[in-house]
């Protein structure tokens, strides 16, 4: 009954987190809708460097992304979400958590550090300082969505695939293939390079003067998650430490691989565009060849490590311990 009680508490927490994630993202979507409507009506400024069409298209896309995030959060807690293909749910959630959750430490540190260079951190589309309440709602939306998904997603997957999360690390260990070992090693190297850059290292940096405090902080966060992903994958594959609950490294590995795949997958096209085109007013501090190699390796390593995390299965709970019904709620099995 202790295990059932723990399961039920985690399930209730996951459901609350999913509803909370949807709720805190709603103001962000409404703010972006107001930006689009205000720009079309001519009562709100258009972002620097944008025409009306480009500004409306960009913010309409972010409204769509916010709507997808809200739908994803609700799918993790509503009964209809249990009827969606688990691979589809997991794939979309992996991308979403990869973008948002790893930025939680950055958001906290960014707020503690305060403005750098005497300029406000938050601006509206016209280059003016964004109202504090608006900036707070936007940041709360991102942080709340990331935190909510980080709790609701494991609870949802545990309802649907309890055998993946069950038991402890030492219950089973399948080892690693050569490709996965390469991926873990590559992630360690990538993480070390990014942390080195975050700490002020200049090797591989073409324009050190162009680096900002925000950029270095974000690079350090990426580097940390790269190391976390490698350590979590190694832990699951090798079964050490044996008594560690299985869900801990699985969750950390999921977030770490998602972080590097999604962010490097987003950064790589930008690097590949800037390298040959050299657009006016756009430059990156890093050596473009080094940056492209790191982002390519990060995407490949994350794609190889994720299957290794979920491939090693824990023992399936006995029917009398857990019965996942069509609504996804754990119930007590038959007594005796």
Q: Place 75 in a pLDDT band, splitting at 50, 70 and 90.
A: very high
* Look-up of token digits 């050569």: 178
Q: Is pLDDT of 192 > 90?
A: yes
- Contacts of residue 267, defined as CB under 8 A and 6 or more positions apart, other chains included, come to 291, 295
Report CA dihedral (111, 115, 116, 118) to the nearest 10 degrees: -170
- Count of Cβ atoms closer than 10 Å to residue 25 Cβ: 27
Q: Place 19 in a pLDDT band, splitting at 50, 70 and 90.
A: very high
Q: Residue 126's pLDDT is what?
A: 46
Q: What is the pLDDT of residues 237-286, one digit of tens each?
A: 777 777 788 778 888 888 888 888 888 988 888 888 877 776 666 677 88
DSSP state of 245: B
Q: Residue 21's pLDDT is what?
A: 92
């Amino acid at each position: 009954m202790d295990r059932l009680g723990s399961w039920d508490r985690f399930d209730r927490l996951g459901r609350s987190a999913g509803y909370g994630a949807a709720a805190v993202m709603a103001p962000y979507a409404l703010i972006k809708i107001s930006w689009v409507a205000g720009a079309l009506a001519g009562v709100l400024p258009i972002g620097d460097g944008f025409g009306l069409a480009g500004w409306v298209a960009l913010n309409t896309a972010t409204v769509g992304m916010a709507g997808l995030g809200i739908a994803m959060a609700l799918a993790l807690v509503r009964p209809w979400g249990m009827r969606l293909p688990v691979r589809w749910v997991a794939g979309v959630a992996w991308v979403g958590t990869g973008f948002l959750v790893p930025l939680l430490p950055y958001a906290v540190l960014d707020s503690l550090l305060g403005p750098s260079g005497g300029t406000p951190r938050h601006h509206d589309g016209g280059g003016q300082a964004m109202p504090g309440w608006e900036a707070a709602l936007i940041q709360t939306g991102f942080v709340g969505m990331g935190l909510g998904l980080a709790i609701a997603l494991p609870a949802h997957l545990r309802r649907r695939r309890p055998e993946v999360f069950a038991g402890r690390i030492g219950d089973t260990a399948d080892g690693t293939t050569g490709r996965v070992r390469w991926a873990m090693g590559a992630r360690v190297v990538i993480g070390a390079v990014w942390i080195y850059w975050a700490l002020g290292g200049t090797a591989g940096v073409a324009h050190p003067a162009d680096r900002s405090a925000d950029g270095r902080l974000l690079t350090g966060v990426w580097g940390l998650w790269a190391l976390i992903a490698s350590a979590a994958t190694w832990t699951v594959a090798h079964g050490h430490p044996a008594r560690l609950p299985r869900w801990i490294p699985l969750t950390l590995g999921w977030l770490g691989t998602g972080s590097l795949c999604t962010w490097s997958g987003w950064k790589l096209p930008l690097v590949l565009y800037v390298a040959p085109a050299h657009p006016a007013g756009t430059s990156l501090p890093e050596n473009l060849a080094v940056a492209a190699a790191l982002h390519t390796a990060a995407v490949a390593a994350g794609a190889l490590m994720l299957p290794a995390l979920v491939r090693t299965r824990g023992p399936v709970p006995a029917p009398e311990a857990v019965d996942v019904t069509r609504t996804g709620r754990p119930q007590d099995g038959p007594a005796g």
